[in-house]
Structure 1
Amino acid sequence: MAASPTLDWERELAGRGFAVVAGCDEVGRGSLAGPVSVGVVIIDAATAAELPGVKDSKLLRTTVRESLVPAIKDWAQASAVGHASAGEIDEFGLVAALRLAGTRALAQAAAVVRPDFVILDGNQDWLSEPEPDLFSVLADGPGRGGPEAQWRIQTRIKADMTCLSVAAASVLAKVERDGIMAGLAEKFPEFGWEANMGYGTAAHREAIGRLGATDHHRRSWRLT
């Protein structure tokens, strides 16, 4: 059984002067339909207590995840979930859509309390704006900046399994995105989204081949 996430690294960051820490995690990256969603949980890393029962959302049953949401929101100084639609994924690409969803979540949470540091699950920093090339600098002029201009961002592999703030963010994102997919399933029952959450199961792909893609499918992806 995997060990439960702790606040060890968040407290280490507080000791280095980053008192207000945001955990950030995404869900829906590999789905064929629906949004990509990013959860953010901001805590005072110096004073926050451990939160029993919270783990990476993939390790929790649906009912357990849902029951944890009120406790996570009470525990956090601020929290939010941001989304980027299938249409935005098609238009901007997956990484840019992740950045868009994460920026939306951080803007909402940071309006309550501004983090000093953002822990990003994984090894890819999809949240920071890409470095501008010479042509974009000439076109846009100075002053261009993304979230990294406001707070420090660092990736951490398996942060959703080791850092409590990130695990909590993963739970919020998963529950909210699953709710969106369950709602869409009522309008498009043929695709089984209430069960597959938009992922590429054999039955889902068969339904796409038979009925065609909806506006909630990522049409730029290989769907069948």
Structure 2
Amino acid sequence: MSVAPTLDYEKRFLPRGARFLAGVDEVGRGALAGPVSVGIAVVDLQNMQLLADVRDSKLLKAADRERLDPLVRAWSVASAVGHASAREIDELGIMGALRAAGNRAWFEILGAGITPDVVLLDGSHNWLSPAVQPSLFDEVIADPGCDAPVHTLVKADMQCLSVAAASVLAKVERDQHMQQLHLEYPDFGWDVNKGYGTALHREAIRTRGPSPYHRVSWNLLTE
């Protein structure tokens, strides 16, 4: 098994005055169908405890992710998963859809009475913070959303327990969603491929055409 993620990196924010840290990760970004999903797992930096067996969701078997999901939810101070649909991905682009999904999860965290002091986001690009755009009156306005400081870290899901935990939550919930969509459109094999571009999935698109849950703005037939 891979090296277990720790809370060592998260501890760096404690001397800076942070208490609640939100680990954030996404799943479904590269799929051809279904939503993109963003998980958040909040840890209390003043009362941190490790959680055994948690890894980046891609390194875990489905049965292990499903076993760990309720444990992660119990371990977290607060947790949530937000989704953005294939239609939203087509309309907003993948970055806009990630922001929408992430902020849906963010507001669920706030609704639980927890306001994170800092966000630890997997990757090198901050897609979570509000998009700042000029208004019709040339004033700079920000879309409502996550207003906490966001710290990005490449491969955070491999080394940071809060982010790995968030990835498990997002993966389990998205997989369950794709299982439900498979019942509606079984020809695409979403119970197995979860909307990703396998050869059989692409062949089904080629012969049957896209479903309402496909990202039609994408090139669905070419790898």
Query: Per-residue deviation at 1:221?
Result: 0.5
5 Å-filtered alignment, 1:132-171, equals 132=133, 136-139=134-137, 141=139, 144-147=142-145, 150-171=147-168
1:139: Cα distance to partner?
Answer: 3.4
Q: Distance in 2 between matches of 1:163 and 1:109?
A: 20
Q: 1:127 to 1:140 in 2, by over 3 A?
A: farther
2:102 maps to what in 1? 102
Tell me the SS of whatever aligns to 1:53.
coil
Give 1:140 shift. 6.8
- Cα distance between partner residues in 2 of 1:128 and 1:140: 21
The one-letter amino acid of 1:139's match is F
2:209 aligns with one of 185, 208, 212? 212
- What residue is the counterpart of 1:57 in the other structure? 57
Letter in 1 for 2:60: L
Give aligned-pair identity as a percent: 51
Moved over 6 A (4+): none
Deviation at 1:145, TM superposition (A): 4.8
Superposed displacement of residue 146, structure 1: 4.3
Q: Which residue of 2 aligns with 1:33?
A: 33
Q: Is the 2:123–2:155 contact (alpha carbons within 8 Å) kept by the matching residues of 1?
A: yes
Matched, 1:191 2:192: no
Counterparts in 2 of 1:195 and 1:139: CA distance versus 1, 3 Å:
farther
Aligned 8 A contact 2:187 2:204 in 1: yes
Which structure 1 segments of 5+ residues have no match?
Answer: none
Asked whether the equivalents of residues 128 and 146 of structure 1 are also in contact (C-alpha less than 8 Å), the reply is no
- C-alpha distance in structure 1 between counterparts of 2:17 and 2:135, whole Å: 32
Within a 5 Å distance, the mapping from 1:73-152 to structure 2 comes to: 73-112=73-112, 113-132=114-133, 136-139=134-137, 141=139, 144-147=142-145, 150-152=147-149
Distance 1:140 1:53, change over 3 A: farther
Q: Is the 1:28–1:37 Cα contact (8 Å) retained in structure 2? A: yes
Shift of the alpha carbon at 1:23?
0.2
Q: Distance in 1 between matches of 2:180 and 2:85?
A: 15
- 2:172 corresponds to which of 160, 165, 175: 175
Q: Distance in 2 between matches of 1:210 and 1:145?
A: 41
Q: Helix, strand or coil for the counterpart of 2:63?
A: helix
Question: Pairwise CA RMSD of aligned residues?
Answer: 1.4
State the SS of the aligned residue for 1:93.
helix
**Alpha-carbon distance between aligned partners in 2 of 1:139 and 1:96, rounded to the nearest angstrom:** 23
Counterparts in 2 of 1:146 and 1:156: CA distance versus 1, 3 Å: farther
More helix by share: 1
